[in-house]
Amino acid sequence: MILRKTGFSIAALVLTLTAFAGNVFAEDFKVTRVPAPGGEVVFANPEERDVMYDQLTYAAARRAGDFVFLAGVEAGPLKGEGTDSAAFQVQLRRAFEAIKNSLVASGASFADVVQMQTFHNCNTPNFKGSFTDQLNALIAVKAEFMKPPYSTWTALCIDRHYSDNTVVEIQVTAYAPKAKQ
């Protein structure tokens, strides 16, 4: 299958472009939408429409009624970046900024997040440290974006991600009722 052959390079491109979304806020990026049953698909970060939706055939963010579902946002080192905890925190901040962009464009915020799942590559050369070190870095950065009352959170170790340089993938669901018109 051609997609599978090129999938890793496409996924690396998605990670790279999404990583740069930390420098692009939802109000700076032309948000686009596709109507969907019960809501809409929302594109709030660079390349979500072309790469994720059109080529890889999935929505990065989708509103369904009062819920906003976000696909996993990957965090890991870009070319030339470090693999220590401090570098990982920078990578996590980019991921959380991309999540914030999608939430805002979907009419939600981090305060509306009810569930978070993180999928950690616990045996990767892209992070120098233990699973506990990954969690500590994630908790520190998460605290910059998510305040009490906290969402639920499930953290899992897995043996690989779609992109070779991913350390963790962060997926969230938000409950954000739309105002009645």
CATH topology of domain 2-175: 60s Ribosomal Protein L30; Chain: A; (3.30.1330)
Q: Which residue is listed with tokens 């990065």?
A: 60
Measured from the Cβ of residue 76, the count of other Cβ atoms closer than 10 Å reads 28
Residue 68 has pLDDT above 80, yes or no: yes
Identify the weakest region by mean pLDDT among 38-52, 78-92, 120-134, 142-156.
38-52
> What 3-state DSSP class applies to 105?
helix
C-beta of residue 156 within 8 angstroms of C-beta of residue 117: yes
pLDDT in tens, 1-26: 334 434 444 444 444 444 444 444 44
Mean pLDDT of 23-48: 82
> pLDDT at position 162, please?
85
Among 79, 71, 89, which Cα is nearest to 134's? 89
Residues in the chain: 181
Per-residue pLDDT, 57? 93
pLDDT digits (tens, 9 = 90+) for 43-61: 998 888 888 899 999 999 9
Beta carbons within 8 Å of 98's beta carbon, 6+ residues apart: 18, 19, 21, 22, 45, 73
Instruction: Name the residue ranges covered by the structural domains of the chain.
Output: 2-175
Tokens for 120, please give them: 């950690």
> Are the beta carbons of 31 and 42 closer than 8 angstroms?
yes
Identity at 114, one-letter amino acid code: V
